[in-house]
Amino acid sequence: MAETTATPAPQGERKKIIFSGIQPTGVFTLGNYIGAVRHWGPLQEQYRCIYSVVDLHSITVRQDPAVLRKRTLEAYALLMACGMDPEKSILFIQSHNPHHAECSWVLNCSTQFGELSRMTQFKDKAARYADNINAGLFTYPVLMAADILLYQTDLVPVGEDQRQHVEITRDIAGRFNGAYGATFTMPEALISRAEEGARIMSLQDPTKKMSKSDPNPKGCVSILDEPGVIMKKFRSAVTDSDAQVVYAPGKDGINNLMRIYAAFTGKSLEAIQEEFAGKGYGDFKTAVGEAVVQGLAPIQARYKELMDDKAYLETCYRQGAQQAMRLSGRTLEKVYKRVGFLHE
């Protein structure tokens, strides 16, 4: 699959378009933040960025409507608090742009049953939600392809577990372009080298990815956790009996804590090893917790400001939807014309 690293366009050239989205299924975890969201803000200086709270995707798993509305607004505010600027980027809520669902249907008709059945996330979710294996769960990669292709996206920031979605998006785009003529830009995965080493694991089981669905609440840190809660979670983090702060195979817990500390301090793994040479795990866990608390403080403060001004949030997401629809409408009109729909 085609992939690239982040390099800005030379002065005077068209800025490449980036699209990325996040589901409103609860407060962002430290893993969401370090692995993805913290990189999105800086990209705004180099690229034309389009960011979305992808609420249509969230209903493949049954949601409480009132909770979904609340979480959607919170996710929007969190993106802004994490540095997404509606003056620099298009920042919108997916369901506010009907073009996503419309384009998804057309693309469904250019997608093969077999390729959807091979998607690993469908298999995982089908196993977890065996009582609700719905058609949306099966076809959501097509909606994800529509999200990307509607904006003639050049680059999609992804981690290792999302590569397959960019691959199937390229397959769908290539098949449509081949059948109907050049319509969609072929997107590439944007792999951040920093991101590759930033996979954040559970604090209680460091062999598993940090997840808000972790049955042990001490394993997952939310970026809105109170400072005292954050410190308690890090002090109880699972490590090993070696008592050396060294990044090495078999030291999953310490490796995870070192990655987190590196993300918040900007220090290299080698510098961290030197800093804590001869010190115990207690000192190190405390230092990691303090670095996280300090790093999240401005995000938490900005989030509170935004949630206290819901009229401003509404202005931003309405404006974002209008901007998104202007762009996506051009592509959808071209798609409808290509497949032969009678113009209104």
Give me the CATH number covering residue 244. Answer: 1.10.240.10
256 lies in the same domain as 177:
no
Q: Which pLDDT score is estimated for 14?
A: 83
The answer to the question of residue 297 being in a domain is yes
The answer to the question of residue 171 being in a domain is yes
126 lies in the same domain as 175:
yes
CA distance 99 to 103: 6
CA distance 101 to 150: 11
107 lies in the same domain as 182:
yes
What angle, 0 to 180 degrees and rounded to 10, lies between the N-to-C axes of helices 227-235 and 281-307? Answer: 150
The answer to the question of residue 210 being in a domain is no
CA distance 315 to 313: 5
The answer to the question of residue 211 being in a domain is no
What would the DSSP string read from start to end of 110-167?
A: TS-HHHHHT-HHHHHHHHHTTT---HHHHHHHHHHHHHHHTTT-SEEE--GGGHHHHH
Q: Which pLDDT score is estimated for 191?
A: 79
Q: Which pLDDT score is estimated for 220?
A: 96
CB atoms within 10 A of CB 277: 10
Q: Are strands 17-22 and 48-53 parallel, antiparallel or unpaired?
A: parallel
CB atoms within 10 A of CB 57: 22
Identify whether the C-beta of residue 123 lies closer than 8 Å to the C-beta of residue 83.
no
Q: For the chain, how many structural domains are there in total?
A: 2
CA distance 177 to 185: 9
Q: Which pLDDT score is estimated for 6?
A: 53
135 lies in the same domain as 57:
yes
The answer to the question of residue 107 being in a domain is yes
294 lies in the same domain as 318:
no
Report the DSSP beta bridge partners of residue 25: none
Q: Which pLDDT score is estimated for 118?
A: 87
158 lies in the same domain as 247:
no
Stretch (H or E) spanning 311: helix 310-339
Q: Say which DSSP state 285 is in.
A: H
Q: Which pLDDT score is estimated for 120?
A: 77
188 lies in the same domain as 224:
no
Q: Which pLDDT score is estimated for 158?
A: 86
52 lies in the same domain as 192:
yes
The answer to the question of residue 203 being in a domain is no
Q: Which pLDDT score is estimated for 1?
A: 43
154 lies in the same domain as 262:
no
Look up residue 330 and give its two tokens: 């051009």
CA distance 231 to 75: 24
The answer to the question of residue 230 being in a domain is yes
Cα distance between the two ends of the chain = 38
Q: Which pLDDT score is estimated for 196?
A: 46
Q: Which CATH number characterizes residue 60's domain?
A: 3.40.50.620
* Low-confidence spans in the chain with pLDDT less than 70: 1-12, 192-198
144, exposed or middle or buried, with CB in 10 Å at 0-12, 13-18, 19+?
buried
161 lies in the same domain as 281:
no
The answer to the question of residue 177 being in a domain is yes
236 lies in the same domain as 292:
yes
- Which residues belong to the active site? 125, 209, 212
Residue in 85, 26, 74 with CA at minimum distance from that of residue 51? 85
144 lies in the same domain as 258:
no
Note down the domain range covering 238: 217-304
Look up residue 133 and give its two tokens: 């294996």
Q: Which pLDDT score is estimated for 11?
A: 55
